[in-house]
Amino acid sequence: MLYKAKTKRINEAVSRNSLKFPDRFCFKISEKEYNFLKSQIATSKGGSRKGHTAFTEEGVAMLATVLKSDVATKVSIAIMDAFVSMRHYINSNLLEQKYINNQVMKDTEDIKLLQESFSKFEEKNKLVIFILMVKYMIHILKYMKYLAVQEKV
């Protein structure tokens, strides 16, 4: 028994609230489909003159809002609580995700600045090293000239 409501009451609720049950919420199954399902699960021996209705997840949730049983009321309240909790969870995660994205963007900008700084530093170092090498070469040349003069003496 769904929501502790008899099938007759469920069918009445769906009929009286037909706008709340579009095809994507519930639909009639064929006799062939019914017989297949009946062979798969234990069912009562009772039949149905109007055909059998199958409910989607949304349809089962909508039933909770139109049935008058205590169980249906409790389920309806639980569904609303679940949606509120889910919205809070999603909102907090979105805020966290936005913070993380902002940090990543900031870090990306910082990394780019560091790369540019290192690149400039590297260029300056290359120049400094080149100047030092030239000075060292000049010093070696002067020393070699000094040695050549000393050999002649």
Q: pLDDT tens for residues 44-88?
A: 555 555 678 889 999 999 998 999 888 988 998 999 999 899 888
Q: Which two tokens stand for residue 143?
A: 């020393």
Q: Give Dmax over CA atoms of the chain in angstroms.
A: 131
Rank 32-36, 73-77, 120-124 by mean pLDDT and report only the highest.
73-77
CB 2 within 8 A of CB 60: yes
CB 29 within 8 A of CB 54: yes
Same domain, 51 and 111: no
Count CB atoms within 10 A of the CB of residue 132: 10
What is residue 25's DSSP assignment?
T
Q: Which of 15, 39, 68 is the last residue of a domain?
A: 68
Same domain, 91 and 76: yes
Overall domain count for the chain: 2
- Interhelix angle 7-16/57-66, nearest 10 degrees: 90
